[in-house]
Amino acid sequence: MRPNGRRGGRVQAGVRRAPAGLLLLALGLAACAAPVAPRPPAAASPVPVPRESGLPATGLPERQQARHVLDRLAYGPRPGEAEAVARRGLLAWIDAQLDPSRLDDADVERRLAGLAVPTMTPRELMEAYPLPQAFRQQGRVVPRERSPQALVGELRRARLLRAVYSERQLLEVMVDFWFNHFNVFAGKGTVRYYLPDYERTALRPHALGRFRDLLGAVAHHPAMLYYLDAWLSTAPGPRAGGRRTGLNENYARELLELHTLGVDGGYEQADVVAVARAFTGWTIDHPRPGHPRSGGGFLFDPRAHDAGPKRVLGQEIRAAGVEEGERVLDLLARHPATARHIARKLARRFVGDDPPPGLVDRAAAVFRERDGDIRAVVRAIVLSPEFFAPAAYCAKVRTPLEFVAAALRAVGAETDGGAPIQRTLGLMGEPLYGAQPPTGYADRAEAWTSPGGLLARLNFAQALAAGRLPGSRVALERLAPEDLEASGLADALVEQWLGGDVSAETRAVLREALAQPAVRRATLDDPLPAPDVATVAALVLGSPEFQRK
Amino acid sequence: MTRRTFLTETAAAVVTFGAAPRFLLRAATAAPPERRRVVVAVFQRGAADGLNIVVPFGDPGYRPARPRIGIAPPARGGGERALDLDGSFGLHPSLAPLAPLYARGELAWVTAVGSPDATRSHFDAQEFMETGTPGVKSTGDGWLNRCLQQARTPAEPSVFRAVALAPLLPRALQGPETALALPSLDAFDIRGAADGPVQRGFEALYRDAVQDFLGGTGRTTLEAVKRLRAARAGARPPEHGAVYPPGRFGEALRQTAQLVKLDVGLEVAFVEVEGWDHHVAEGGARGPLAARLDEFGRALAAFWQDLGERRGDVVVLTMTEFGRTVRENGNAGTDHGHAGTMLVLGGRVRGGRVHGRWPGLAPEQLFEGRDLAVTTDFRDLFAEVAVRHLGVPWTAPLFPGYPVRPERFPGVLPAA
């Protein structure tokens, strides 16, 4: 079911009794209810985009451009943010986001100050959160605050707090993108000890950097070495230290299939084996509790390395010990199939589930010409006509993390990101760091529109708006001026949170809900019936429109 | 809500919007409710030690390999010994609650069943078992979802056709057919009163506002909430003297029995039970594994009791990602192995016997010199249940790259 997008704003213009400023802004906007088809600019663009904006003129009105940019390059707008970004200039905002180190992020740093786990080393974490077996062997129960759940819980809090409060929004979006691209699972073995370091040192510094650097940081990291079993993979031969030895293809296969070339990238089983052999000996310098200097980092074990001749994708990999893996990474990072694979995934993230092939081609060309400069590829994608096309507007369904963060940002919530909200993310299907398969969490709408997940979203919307979500507070009164009548309130929230972009039906439902006596509250202090902001807020946040971005 | 009002509403929806979701279109022409065949898939996550569940006491290789954790062979007087099944195999004594079901011919065991893929990684092996594609990770949907795609379309559609009693939809149920993950029947609800403004608002939003798949999901969800609310009113406590053991597994099976008896259209239920990864101090007739089996057996026996006359409609199929090493390890536990043991329970099951060719425990008979070899590909067992119980055509592509061949079925169900 497609186009014919319902257009909400215009038809209601005469019925409204809300503040004039909000009303004016809501006029003539296209609906978010369903993907909008491209249409002739004359009919669709009452506000032509001035050329000096530096953005492609596609017919998408300027205010929608601002929302679109904040929905895709950030976790949704905060109150008033779309207007502010539009005033400052979208291009300037985008370029500032592409250079995150220059953005002051003191607010989120202050919020993260109480969390130790994200800054700890693997060795420190092993000592602070020992393996549950260690407790059991002493006949003790694992104390809750030292359990594996406590470790992962802190990391989850940090991730959510950054998504909601960081000024470096695009960086956070990219960290989420790369975490899923190079996914590791907190529930596998000792991966959790390496997780904070993995995100902090392998992903974050390179998220907008050079792909080869990112790929290399991931390949060396114990989180990945453990998760995909590379640390166990050795040349076949005599047993060393009693452990079974032999080749493990797990990492090699995912390196080709998921991290670089893509499943149709033109490699064969023989390439998987050759790559696996090139990486034999890449292992973990295991931290040993009680040995303060012992590692937690990468170690090359020459005794485990298979020094025999290898050919990968038709190229000979000369016997060179640890350097063989590096040569394979060089080869893969600069392969045209990798450029295409990464370009397509980035275009899917920023533009649409099935990105336009022309855009993918151009982004892949930038990837090749700029030697895998991720910043340049992202910039090419988000400044493209395809990105600003009306067809791309509201075309994606928010992932649970995007939905939760967008809702918290929209209502200006104060959250600690703690267990209740993390459980909610789990119910929606996206427990952070909880994706077991190496594919990470999906970036397509179908994955996020299950009944259980949607029900969790509706209940979250309700709990947040009603102030019943422990650890999260909203001051809805501030959003609803006292003298506002019911219809004005609905319009104000629709304006604020959805940019006015709702179907006529949704707007009618919200107004009708407000017209019910049940939702007006009359107290002794406040004898005049007032609209129930929480109910309307719950409905807006739970609406089909708010599930989209 | 009654079925009549549901049909009226959905018919109205079809009139209003040209392109209603498929299930609504089907609903408008629905036939009377029907009793459906149900498969209850139970995943023992963590790799259960099949050799101490169905004990091969007749194999001379068993006891020497497990001096500390081995189960003693059956003997008169019983006690902490295996319960004889057929003179060669015996049941772990903690599974005594399942012995009468075996004796009545409703319960069958399949030994030496597993995956042709040699992985000993829990997460890969679970993935392979749930997608039904050993060695292939790019499979989009799960095997149980494919069952639903390929079984005959029910006359009356239901949002409860496939339900996982779990917080997240397991891989096995993911795919194009609608499947619900319900952490619990009671929790699958919208907070607040049914006729409260929020719920009515959501219903109106998703009924009227959007006509794409998101709207379709919204309607499915709210429909499921309504039907569950109505159905809960008719829910009964466990019947026929069934007593479920405390714990998540018993609770999930109790709710599964409710769904079966409420006739809400269930065809596939998925239940998981964790805690089988006994690397250390596994124990023999007593100990951690014995405690796990005690809960497992009592919960299954209670479920079977509770179902009463519905037993003829139901098949329970247990699975685990792989078995464990034949030889106990240095910590009196077992490590990751290869072939495992699965259970099939059903009114129509050819029970009272141990199925599967026994590969033997002699060193030269072991897989990679250490593990029980696989003689039944798990896909042949799964396919038999899908074809002979759910009515999936055997010609359907249930397992990509692995055609269903009835001659490979282990024979746990009668043909047609």
Tokens read off for A419: 């267990």
Of B181, B190, B209, the CB nearest to A459: B190
Residues of A in contact with B137 (CB under 8 A): 257, 437-439
To probe the interface with B, which of A458, A505, A548 has the most B CB atoms within 10 Å? Answer: A458
Contacts of A195 (CB under 8 A, 6+ apart): A152, A155, A184, A186, A223, A433
**DSSP-based three-state secondary structure for A299:** strand
Query: A544, B137: Cβ pair inside 8 Å?
Result: no
DSSP state of A171: H
DSSP secondary structure letters along B365-381? GSBTTTBPPP-EEHHHH
Of B179, B180, B211, the CB nearest to A34: B211
DSSP secondary structure letters along A78-106? PTTHHHHHHHH-HHHHHHHHTSGGGS--H
Residues of B in contact with A427 (CB under 8 A): 167, 183
Closest Cα in chain B, distance from residue A519 (Å): 7
Q: According to the model, what pLDDT value does residue B5 have?
A: 33
Is the separation of the CB atoms in B416 and B388 below 8 Å?
A: yes
Query: B178, A451: Cβ pair inside 8 Å?
Result: yes
Is the separation of the CB atoms in A178 and A344 below 8 Å?
A: no
Does the beta carbon of A519 lie under 8 angstroms from any beta carbon of chain B? yes
Helices (H) and strands (E) in chain A, counts: 25, 6
Does the beta carbon of A236 lie under 8 angstroms from any beta carbon of chain B? no
CA dihedral A385, A391, A392, A395 (to 10 degrees): 180
Element (H, E) at A469: none
What is the sign of the dihedral through the CA atoms of A380, A382, A383 and A389? positive
Query: B190, A250: Cβ pair inside 8 Å?
Result: no
| Backbone torsions φ then ψ of B8, nearest 5 degrees | -60, -45
> Whose structure tokens read 């205010």?
A63
- Does the model's pTM come out above 0.80? no
Of A426, A438, A547, the CB nearest to B214: A547
Mean pLDDT score, B247-260: 94
Instruction: Please determine, for residue B1, whether its predicted confidence score (pLDDT) is greater than 70.
Output: no
Closest Cα in chain B, distance from residue A359 (Å): 25
**How many whole angstroms separate alpha carbon A259 and alpha carbon A266?**
14
To probe the interface with B, which of A245, A254, A455, A503 has the most B CB atoms within 10 Å? Answer: A455
**How many whole angstroms separate alpha carbon B321 and alpha carbon B338?**
9
What are B92-116's pLDDT values in tens digits?
A: 999 999 999 999 999 999 999 999 9
Instruction: Please report the residues numbered 50 through 69 in chain B whose beta carbons come closer than 8 angstroms to any beta carbon of chain A.
Output: none
Of A229, A397, A518, the CB nearest to B214: A397
The tens place of each residue's pLDDT in chain A, 549 residues long, gives 333 333 333 333 333 333 333 322 222 222 354 444 444 444 444 444 445 678 898 889 888 999 999 999 999 999 889 999 999 999 999 999 999 999 999 999 999 999 999 999 999 999 899 988 788 778 788 888 999 899 999 999 999 999 999 999 999 999 999 999 999 999 888 999 999 999 999 999 999 999 999 999 999 999 999 998 899 888 876 554 445 467 888 899 899 989 999 988 999 888 998 999 999 999 999 876 666 666 789 999 999 999 999 999 999 999 999 999 999 999 999 999 999 999 999 999 999 999 999 999 999 999 999 999 999 999 999 999 999 999 999 999 999 999 999 999 999 999 999 999 999 998 888 999 998 778 899 898 878 887 778 889 999 999 999 899 999 999 877 766 555 566 677 777 777 777 777 788 888 887 777 666 444 444 455 444 455 778 888 999 999 999 999
**How many whole angstroms separate alpha carbon B285 and alpha carbon B91?**
10
Mean pLDDT of chain B: 87
Q: Kindly report the CA angle at B395 between B391 and B398, in degrees rounded to 5?
A: 75
Q: How far apart are the first and last CA of chain B?
A: 37
Q: According to the model, what pLDDT value does residue B191 have?
A: 78
Q: According to the model, what pLDDT value does residue A43 have?
A: 42
Residues of B in contact with A463 (CB under 8 A): 191
Contacts of A507 (CB under 8 A, 6+ apart): A8, A12, A490, A491, A494
* Amino acid at residue number A191: V
Three-state SS annotation for A252-274: HHHHHHHHCCCCCCCCCHHHHHH
Instruction: Please report the residues numbered 108 through 137 in chain B whose beta carbons come closer than 8 angstroms to any beta carbon of chain A.
Output: 121-124, 127, 137
CA dihedral A259, A265, A267, A273 (to 10 degrees): 10
**How many whole angstroms separate alpha carbon B147 and alpha carbon B145?**
5
**How many whole angstroms separate alpha carbon B237 and alpha carbon B258?**
9
**DSSP-based three-state secondary structure for B155:** coil
Closest Cα in chain B, distance from residue A542 (Å): 7
| Backbone torsions φ then ψ of B30, nearest 5 degrees | -75, 150
Instruction: Please determine, for residue B23, whether its predicted confidence score (pLDDT) is greater than 50.
Output: no
What ipTM does this complex have?
A: 0.80
**How many whole angstroms separate alpha carbon A93 and alpha carbon A162?**
18
Q: By C-alpha distance, which of B225, B230, B235 is closest to B192? A: B225
**DSSP-based three-state secondary structure for B317:** strand
Of B138, B171, B225, the CB nearest to A263: B138
CA dihedral B384, B387, B390, B396 (to 10 degrees): 130
Tokens read off for A349: 């993230």
Tokens read off for B83: 């319960």
Query: B167, A543: Cβ pair inside 8 Å?
Result: no
Mean pLDDT score, B388-411: 95
What are B135-147's pLDDT values in tens digits?
A: 988 888 999 999 9
Does the beta carbon of B200 lie under 8 angstroms from any beta carbon of chain A? yes
Tokens read off for A89: 């200039």
Contacts of A95 (CB under 8 A, 6+ apart): A379
Instruction: Please report the residues numbered 242 through 301 in chain B whose beta carbons come closer than 8 angstroms to any beta carbon of chain A.
Output: 280
Is the separation of the CB atoms in A502 and A31 below 8 Å?
A: yes
